[in-house]
Structure 1
Amino acid sequence: MNWFTKVRERLPFVAKRETPDNLWVKCPRCQEMVFRTEYEENLSVCPQCDHHGRIGADTRLDQILDNGDVEMLPAPKVTEDPLRFKDSKRYVDRLKAARAANPHNDAFTAAVGTIKGHRAVVGVQDFTFMGGSMGMAVGDAFCAAAQRALDEKCAFICVTAAGGARMQEGILSLMQMPRATVMTRRLREAGLPYIVILADPTTGGVTASYAMLGDVHIAEPGALIGFAGQRVIQETIREQLPEGFQRAEYLHKHGMVDMVVHRKDLRATLAQLLEFLAPAKAA
């Protein structure tokens, strides 16, 4: 306890100032402390080093879609805990904890709206919900969003952020990969654009399915994109991986993604793509 604290305790007329716990955000890359308001006004991008922070589904939809007529698609109803899975915790308990900390029932949320006048369905995978893991609810939500795009005859935009398949659902989670793949094929057959935005991180079974089946792939700067982890790959091939391996810029350089786009330019970029791929605007 310093001398000022001691003096203040003896002087009752000196009010103690309360400082909110969430006033600052610490950048995970440069370790700088940034005012939360400044950080959020900058679209959750560090103003010091340009690190793109992870954001939730609602924030992402607000950043992409026009204000006004936005329709949230209903969350699918699936069988919960079909395998009655338990590791260190029961799966049902993990779901309850994730739902208590998030505004949505699972990791994939979709909405219908416009992007600078262009009608589109936008689906967002939220990494804060059990690592954005792909289970039956995510698969159903993805397929429902793609079907809505087919019904509306508009583009489908998917923002991916996931650690892969949800292990607590076993083979049922892996079956979402071919289901989603079929829906991307239907979009292509209908001549409707399917655009993927690869956010940090996009890995595992999501990368092995719908994340890499888009007509256009856009990555956010610095996003981790891959299937297996770097350590697993290094131990398998017994070679040191190059610097920046599995990062957005490395994948862009080697032709795995079409472009790396800063978050502040993402909405304008999507509008340009829709102008080219789907020129008809909403009435």
Structure 2
Amino acid sequence: MDVGKIFAVGSRERMFQLKARRDAGLDSPRWQPPHYFTCKKCERRATRQTWASTLYVCPNCGHHQPIGGYYRLSMVLDHGSFRELDGELQSKNVLDFPGYDEKLEAQRAKTGLADAAVTATGKVGGVPVVAAVLDSRFFMGSMGTAVGEKITRAVEFAARKDLPLIIFSASGGARMQEGIFSLMQMAKTSAAIQRFQAKGGLYISYLTHPTTGGVTASFASLGDITLAEPGALIGFAGPRVIEQTIGQKLPQGFQRAEYLLDHGFVDQVVPRSEMKATLTRILKLHTQGRKHGA
């Protein structure tokens, strides 16, 4: 048995869990006063520890708060299976956009992320997968060149290794500081998904709050199976923009996950507490089907 390999896996898992705890706001020394978090919907206030115990789902109103990429992966991936892909890949100021370099550095310092996407391999319920998460804390999960490249590389890795692909989307759309280069990522990621699916790969798209703009108009809408968290805002343009454009009032709950489920855009709305169990069930059905030649 390779002791060095065991040590490497243990170190990697410890670093992953530290990042997940940081995302959840639980990495402060115990002697410090408790940090509080307020629900963005009902304004209920409780300690971070209380919110972490509910997976950042409000115990008062059920609102699913946005969560960090490493924290989400820690909920989904089997213990000890996490291995990050392209962890150091970062956006560059390709257009010399004024102030963009400083804003990138500020975002990296604030979030501890290289950019708005985290990609990794691991296991879900014992099934090997490739998983990607867009983190809305970094420029609202906007898709620039680094995010597009990381997603594309993750898709291509899944294709090479013949692994299922799960992408958790949360985005405000294309990153305006990168102009046409950010818009190009829509075609780039969509083409990668098409090649992956043409080879028979399973792609599960998991939409979280909010999933909008160019991400919705590209890879987020191309899943073989599309899941969504309760109450997630999903669409291209926001409801206020649409109302101003068409001069009409939109239906109640328009562009929310439940509305899209009723209209056939989403296959299932899955509460966060059921996230791993649901993914495990889908992956095992897929794996068993392939074994039996289905």
TM-score, with length taken from structure 2: 0.85
SS in 1 for 2:133: strand
Q: CA deviation at 1:278?
A: 2.8
SS in 2 for 1:95: helix
Structure-2 residue corresponding to 1:28:
40
Give the conservation status (yes or no) of the 8 Å contact 1:193–1:278.
no
Aligned residues: 260
SS in 1 for 2:111: coil
CA distance in 2, matches of 1:76, 1:147: 18
- The one-letter code matched in structure 1 to 2:55 is L
- The one-letter code matched in structure 2 to 1:141 is K
- Is the counterpart of residue 69 in structure 1 residue 81 in structure 2? yes
Which of 264, 275, 284 aligns to 1:266? It is 275
Shift in alpha-carbon separation, 1:79–1:253, aligned structure 2, 3 A:
closer
Structure-1 residue corresponding to 2:66:
54
Structure-2 residue corresponding to 1:158:
167
**CA deviation map 1:14-34 (0-9, x unaligned):** xxxx97261x22111111122
CA distance in 2, matches of 1:133, 1:45: 23
**CA deviation map 1:108-127 (0-9, x unaligned):** 11110100111100000000
Structure-2 residue corresponding to 1:12:
none
Q: CA deviation at 1:41?
A: 1.2
Percent sequence identity over aligned pairs: 45
Give the conservation status (yes or no) of the 8 Å contact 1:107–1:125.
yes
Point out where structure 1 has 5 or more consecutive residues left out of the alignment: 1-17
- Is the counterpart of residue 92 in structure 1 residue 104 in structure 2? no
- The one-letter code matched in structure 2 to 1:59 is Y
**CA deviation map 1:156-182 (0-9, x unaligned):** 100000000000000000000011011
Structure-2 residue corresponding to 1:248:
257
SS in 2 for 1:170: helix
- The one-letter code matched in structure 1 to 2:107 is A
- The one-letter code matched in structure 1 to 2:226 is H
CA distance in 1, matches of 2:82, 2:96: 37
Structure-2 residue corresponding to 1:138:
147
Shift in alpha-carbon separation, 1:179–1:275, aligned structure 2, 3 A:
same
Give the conservation status (yes or no) of the 8 Å contact 1:163–1:204.
yes
Radius of gyration: which is bigger?
Answer: 1
Give the conservation status (yes or no) of the 8 Å contact 2:89–2:150.
no
Structural RMSD (CA): 1.6
- The one-letter code matched in structure 2 to 1:58 is Y
Structure-1 residue corresponding to 2:243:
234
Structure-1 residue corresponding to 2:200:
191
Point out where structure 2 has 5 or more consecutive residues left out of the alignment: 1-30
Give the conservation status (yes or no) of the 8 Å contact 1:66–1:114.
yes
Q: CA deviation at 1:102?
A: 1.5
CA distance in 2, matches of 1:262, 1:268: 10
SS in 2 for 1:161: strand
CA distance in 1, matches of 2:158, 2:228: 22
Structure-1 residue corresponding to 2:92:
80
Give the conservation status (yes or no) of the 8 Å contact 2:76–2:275.
yes
Q: CA deviation at 1:252?
A: 0.7
CA distance in 2, matches of 1:19, 1:145: 39
Which of 165, 180, 190 aligns to 1:181? It is 190
**CA deviation map 1:74-126 (0-9, x unaligned):** 2364661010012xxx1001100000011221001111010011110000000
Q: CA deviation at 1:187?
A: 1.4
CA distance in 2, matches of 1:225, 1:249: 10
Which of 31, 34, 53 aligns to 1:41? It is 53
